[in-house]
Amino acid sequence: MKDFPTVTIGIAGAGYAAHLHCSGYSRVHGCRIDIRTVADPDRARAEKLAAEFDIPGVATDFRDILADPAIEIIDIVTPPCCHARMIEEALAAGKHVICEKPLTGYFGMPGDPAPVGEVPKKRMYDAVCAELKCLEAAIAKSRRRFCYAENFVYAPPLVRTAEILTAKKSKILFMRGEELLKGSSSALAGEWSGTGGGTLIRCGTHPLTGLLYLKRREAAARGETVAPVSVVCDTGQATKCLDEHDHRHISARPHDVEDFAQLVISFSDGTKASVLATDTALGGTRNAVDVYCSDGVFTCNITPNDILSAYCLDEEGLDGVAFSEMLPAKTGWNKVFVCDDVIRGYHGELQDFVEAVAFDREPESSFELAAQTTRLIYAAYLAAETGERVVL
Mean pLDDT, 10 residues at a time, over the chain (392 residues)? 84 95 94 96 97 97 96 97 97 98 96 95 98 98 97 97 97 98 88 95 97 98 97 97 95 96 98 98 94 97 92 93 87 91 94 97 97 98 98 95
Q: What is the model's pTM?
A: 0.95
- Residue-level pLDDT at 9: 98
Give me the residues paired with residue 348 across strands: none
Alpha-carbon torsion 137, 64, 202, 320, what sign?
Answer: positive
- What class, spelled out in words, does domain 6-149+349-361 have in CATH? alpha beta
A 10 A CB-CB count for 40 gives 25
Whether 377 and 265 have beta carbons less than 8 Å apart is answered as no
d(CA 19, CA 17): 5
Whether 336 and 312 have beta carbons less than 8 Å apart is answered as no
Q: Where does the chain hold its CATH 3.40.50.720 domain(s)?
A: 6-149+349-361
Which pLDDT tens digit goes with each residue over 248-281? 999 999 999 999 999 999 999 999 999 999 999 9
The CA R_g of the chain, rounded to the nearest whole Å, is: 21
Architecture of domain 152-303+377-391: 2-Layer Sandwich (3.30)
Whether 336 and 310 have beta carbons less than 8 Å apart is answered as yes
Residue 27: is it exposed, middle or buried by C-beta count within 10 angstroms (0-12/13-18/19+)? middle
A 10 A CB-CB count for 319 gives 7
For the residues of 75-124, what is the DSSP string, one character each?
Answer: EE-S-GGGHHHHHHHHHHTT-EEEEESS-------TT--SSGGGS-HHHH
Residue 239: is it exposed, middle or buried by C-beta count within 10 angstroms (0-12/13-18/19+)? buried
Grouping H, G, I as helix, E, B as strand and the rest as coil, residue 221 is: helix
d(CA 32, CA 23): 14
Q: Where are the alpha helices (DSSP H) in the chain?
A: 16-25, 43-53, 62-66, 83-92, 121-142, 156-168, 192-195, 199, 205-222, 340-343, 346-358, 367-386
- The gap between the terminal CA atoms of the chain, to the nearest Å, is 48
Phi/psi for 55 (5° steps) reads -95, 125
- Residue-level pLDDT at 64: 96
Grouping H, G, I as helix, E, B as strand and the rest as coil, residue 29 is: coil
H/E stretch holding 261 reads strand 260-267
DSSP 8-state secondary structure symbol assigned to residue 317: T
Chain Cα centroid distance, residue 374: 11
Whether 288 and 246 have beta carbons less than 8 Å apart is answered as no
Longest dimension (CA), the chain: 62
CA atoms within 13 Å, Cβ hemisphere of 167: 7
Which pLDDT tens digit goes with each residue over 32-75? 999 999 999 999 999 999 999 999 999 999 999 999 999 999 99
Grouping H, G, I as helix, E, B as strand and the rest as coil, residue 27 is: coil
Q: Where does the chain hold its CATH 3.30.360.10 domain(s)?
A: 152-303+377-391
- Residue-level pLDDT at 2: 57
